[in-house]
């Protein structure tokens, strides 16, 4: 085969440091758009990005030429720098060190989009920590609770 072809859809989740509820409604829309732009620059087009007070979800098609860790690094670094320009309340802003990256089958993209779009409603009933634990368990990811949160 002369051509390399791939379609890897990723559901990316990461939180603010400690996870503090510092992502105000006033910046979330712009933050989501900024992260979409970073992914576009990485040739990893976003399907949807949505944030709540203490974490963010992105659904995107990972470029065949970019490692997931590099994409996450660029999104977090760029978004952090951008947030720090949005006012004194963000001067000390940091994302958590880690992230969750989960593969999404083409047949599940619609359901994941709805899930990401409904984050505000979803988190009226479930904390970020409970949500993230459920993802880890559903995907069979072994983890040590002592090292998941920072």
| pLDDT, average across residues 35-64 | 98
pTM of the model: 0.95
Measured CA to CA, the distance from residue 22 to residue 36 in angstroms comes to: 20
Give me the sheet containing 100-104, strands edge to edge.
Answer: 46-51, 55-62, 8-15, 100-104
CA atoms within 13 A of residue 39's CA, in its CB half-sphere: 24
- Token pair for residue 38? 């970073």
- Looking at residue 1, its pLDDT comes to 63
pLDDT of residue 122: 85
What are the structural domains of the chain?
8-148 (3.30.70.1290)
pLDDT greater than 70 at residue 146: yes
Count of beta carbons in the 10 Å neighbourhood of residue 67: 10
Residue 30 has pLDDT above 90, yes or no: yes
Mean pLDDT of 85-99: 94
């Amino acid at each position: 085969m002369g051509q390399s072809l791939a379609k890897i859809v990723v559901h990316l989740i990461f939180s603010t440091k400690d996870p503090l509820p510092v992502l105000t409604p006033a910046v979330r829309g712009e933050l989501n758009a900024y992260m979409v732009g970073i992914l576009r620059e990485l040739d990893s087009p976003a399907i949807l990005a949505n944030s709540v007070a203490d974490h963010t979800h992105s659904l995107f098609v990972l470029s065949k030429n970019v490692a997931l860790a590099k994409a996450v690094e660029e999104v977090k670094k760029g978004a952090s720098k951008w947030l720090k320009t949005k006012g004194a309340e963000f001067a000390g802003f940091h994302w958590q060190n880690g992230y969750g990256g989960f593969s999404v089958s083409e047949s599940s993209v619609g359901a994941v989009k709805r899930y990401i779009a409904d984050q505000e409603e979803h988190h009226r009933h479930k904390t970020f920590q409970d949500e993230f634990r459920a993802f880890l368990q559903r995907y069979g990811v072994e983890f040590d609770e002592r090292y998941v949160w920072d």
